[in-house]
Structure 1
Amino acid sequence: MTYRVGWIPLSLLLLASGCASLGSKAVEQWSPQEANAWYAEMPWLVGCNFSPSTAVNQLEMWQRETFDPATIDRELAWASKLGFNSVRVYLHHLLWEQHARGLLHRMERFLDIADRHGIGVMFVLLDGVWDPYPQLGPQPDPIPHIHNSGWLQSPGVEILRDPARHEELKGYIKGVVGHFRKDRRIHAWDLFNEPDNMNDPAYVQFEPENKAELSLMLLKKVFAWAREAGPTQPITAGVWAGDWSSDAKLSEINRFMLEQSDIITFHSYANLAETKARVESLQRYGRPILCTEYMARPAGSTFAEILPYFQEQRIGAYNWGFVAGKTQTIYPWDSWTKSYKAEPDVWFHDILRPDGTPYDVQEVTLIRRLTGR
């Protein structure tokens, strides 16, 4: 069967258009049956969390002065050659405040490039990870040998800790989702990445003690705003920590994410046995399951161990990182507390070197075999 990137079943398009004419009426959460109908028409979604190697963070990727379509085109061509058909890509709310039309224009360009290479996109709208004080303008150079030293939270702590300011994000969420709500090049909307992450040890001293409570307050609003925008694509927020094995053991924020998402998404940087246990704990929701972050080689989360299982179970698979570059995610998380002077023998994340050659030829061979390339 030939698939079109971002293909949406006609029944769901009719549902969405009926519930969200001109983006003016909220869509309801998809039923498990509707979610599974959507997924049945998709290929096995496999790809990576993508940031061009020339960007240290989300702002450097998307701001007009540093947007780099040539690198994006080259690197997504390499992704396509691996058989990747989907990428997960982070945005930032400050880009909307800076110049909304400019952001939408660059998103259109990115989607055009990805579509030419047969790749759909899952956009991430907000992020609770790393630096809680984002600023527009020129971004800092990476700190040598430090994992993701320039990555930014969206929103920053100054908005998150003040619920009265949460409304400042409404225009961004509704504006972006609403603009692209019928765009078949978009596979899904990931509304808030790891919202309750305390970022220990890198930034824990700057985090509010009640971050989970504050993030849940914001998350509830973000889900409502996204649904008000009337997307024809599924919306989700992924669980990443805690015990998901039964309803009684769920944290309040995990319960909300799992019960409100159209499709179930999760993170696992664990070995195969633990990853299987996490998947099995999520199957009770009866919805499609996508792993939106995995693959940390020293932790036992490797392509050889995990990807064949995901293919067998038809679980969407997005490893962290692609081309080694300014995010420096070849270095492990402990690079924030342990000194590294040179490239580690075993890369933590990423697949290719900046010239497109693989870190591990056997890995690339395996990926291509599993994706049919």
Structure 2
Amino acid sequence: MNIQRLLICICVVLTAAISATAQSKVWSTEQAQKWGKENPWYCGVNYIPATAINYTAMWDKTSFSPEVIEKEMKLMKSLGMNCARIVMQYAVYEEDPAYFIRTLDRFLSICDKYGVKVMPIFFDDCAFGVNTDPTVGKQPEPLEGWYAWVWSPSPGYSMVVDERTHGKLEKYVKEVMNHFKNDPRIFVWDLYNEPTNTTMPERSWPLLRKVFTWAREVNPKQPITSGLWNENKELNDFLASNSDIITFHCYASKEETEKVMKEHLKLGRPTICTEWMNRVAHSTIPEILPMLKEAHVGSMMWGLVNGKTQTHLCWGHRPEQLPYTGVWQHDIYKGDYTPYSAKEIEIIKKTTK
């Protein structure tokens, strides 16, 4: 009997180990290609409501605005767009996890009503002003002339570098992902936006490695990814080898974008350019969008309606440089929902047919 029990225990341990191994594997190329064939060509935007100054404001109890989101998703549908990439905010989750999950669910429902699939992002290292640790509640109003002046990373630099807090972040990732891991309204999980894009890039590595481990343990139905965004070979090798599908950022001319795109396509996986469209850097809709469509590379430009983030300005723009008289860097609609360029709108609609 003792031997039988021992054998049973061994079998249980082996089964658990095999299961854990299966969960931790990156999708095979064949599995990724199958996903690509089952999904349409994705074309959309990096989305933040025009009334939100940062992603904290997008989700916070004081400023979440389903009415604005509905109006802007309707605008996306009119363009033929079918996807939106958004950053979730850990600080809002931490304050009230149940509220955050309900709010994310409501956002997904609004998007679904207009045929828009969602790519949520858990973590983000980007900051454009003095705000590197988000706080919930009413957010500051814009400082005219300052590009994204209170943009709030998630979870914030203090938690990224303090590994004692990572247990809280693990709970966040797993609870949100487990809740939506079979949800068809989500088409990809983006685990970390531009990891290492800080003054201390090496401090992002522990959280980056962990979030991939946590996601594999959940084993969602949707693919997981994190976008290649710079020329750091170590980082790019890690992201490419751990992502089910390839995503990348490229704010550059048609020639440079095509070069980068073709390099990523060599990996043989579905590929989406999750950040592009910077008119100042010659990353323009007439030049880039048709090329991405022809290559069947997904397109997610930045962004939709110009608002409190002031992303029509150039990166690094400050109030003392006003008035700004150059072309808009980002966004395709003005705050009154009229097009920045009628020609761009025409090209988008023609390409998404």
TM-score computed with the length of structure 1 as normaliser: 0.86
In the alignment, the residues of structure 1 paired with residue 169 and residue 214 of structure 2 have an alpha-carbon distance, to the nearest angstrom, of 9
| Matching residue of 2:135 | 135
In the alignment, the residues of structure 2 paired with residue 132 and residue 345 of structure 1 have an alpha-carbon distance, to the nearest angstrom, of 28
In the alignment, the residues of structure 2 paired with residue 113 and residue 91 of structure 1 have an alpha-carbon distance, to the nearest angstrom, of 16
| Amino acid in structure 2 at the alignment position of 1:86 | C
In the alignment, the residues of structure 2 paired with residue 270 and residue 185 of structure 1 have an alpha-carbon distance, to the nearest angstrom, of 31
| Amino acid in structure 1 at the alignment position of 2:187 | H
| Matching residue of 1:233 | 222
In the alignment, the residues of structure 2 paired with residue 295 and residue 216 of structure 1 have an alpha-carbon distance, to the nearest angstrom, of 28
In the alignment, the residues of structure 1 paired with residue 133 and residue 103 of structure 2 have an alpha-carbon distance, to the nearest angstrom, of 24
**Helix, strand or coil for the counterpart of 1:80?**
helix
Q: Does 1:100 align with 2:82?
A: no
Q: Give the deviation of 1:32 after TM superposition.
A: 1.1
| Amino acid in structure 2 at the alignment position of 1:140 | P
In the alignment, the residues of structure 2 paired with residue 167 and residue 254 of structure 1 have an alpha-carbon distance, to the nearest angstrom, of 26
| Amino acid in structure 2 at the alignment position of 1:165 | T
| Matching residue of 1:6 | none
In the alignment, the residues of structure 2 paired with residue 148 and residue 323 of structure 1 have an alpha-carbon distance, to the nearest angstrom, of 14
| Matching residue of 1:247 | none
What does 1:85-124 align with in structure 2 at a 5 Å threshold? 85-124=82-121
| Amino acid in structure 2 at the alignment position of 1:353 | K
Q: Does 1:49 align with 2:30?
A: no
Q: Give the deviation of 1:27 after TM superposition.
A: 5.3
| Amino acid in structure 1 at the alignment position of 2:196 | D
| Matching residue of 1:354 | 335
| Amino acid in structure 1 at the alignment position of 2:225 | T
| Matching residue of 1:68 | 65
Of 222, 235, 247, which residue of structure 2 is paired with 1:253? 235
User: Are the counterparts in 2 of residues 182 and 231 from structure 1 also a CA contact under 8 Å?
Assistant: yes
Which ranges in structure 2 are unaligned for 5 or more consecutive residues?
1-15
In the alignment, the residues of structure 2 paired with residue 180 and residue 55 of structure 1 have an alpha-carbon distance, to the nearest angstrom, of 24
**Helix, strand or coil for the counterpart of 1:186?**
coil
| Matching residue of 2:349 | 368
What does 1:150-189 align with in structure 2 at a 5 Å threshold? 150-189=150-189
TM-score computed with the length of structure 2 as normaliser: 0.90
Q: Does 1:81 align with 2:70?
A: no
Q: Does 1:323 align with 2:312?
A: no
Q: Give the deviation of 1:150 after TM superposition.
A: 1.7
User: Are the counterparts in 2 of residues 304 and 366 from structure 1 also a CA contact under 8 Å?
Assistant: yes
Q: Give the deviation of 1:92 after TM superposition.
A: 1.1
Q: Structure 1's 337 and 285: CA in aligned 2 closer, same or farther, altered over 3 A?
A: farther
CA displacement, residues 326-367 of structure 1 (integer Å, 9 cap, x when unaligned) = 11100110304861235x441110001122210000000000
**Helix, strand or coil for the counterpart of 1:333?**
coil
Percent of aligned positions that are identical: 39
Aligned residues: 331
Q: Give the deviation of 1:184 after TM superposition.
A: 0.3
| Amino acid in structure 2 at the alignment position of 1:268 | C
Of the two, which has the highest radius of gyration? 2
In the alignment, the residues of structure 1 paired with residue 97 and residue 352 of structure 2 have an alpha-carbon distance, to the nearest angstrom, of 36
In the alignment, the residues of structure 1 paired with residue 117 and residue 304 of structure 2 have an alpha-carbon distance, to the nearest angstrom, of 16
In the alignment, the residues of structure 2 paired with residue 231 and residue 56 of structure 1 have an alpha-carbon distance, to the nearest angstrom, of 31
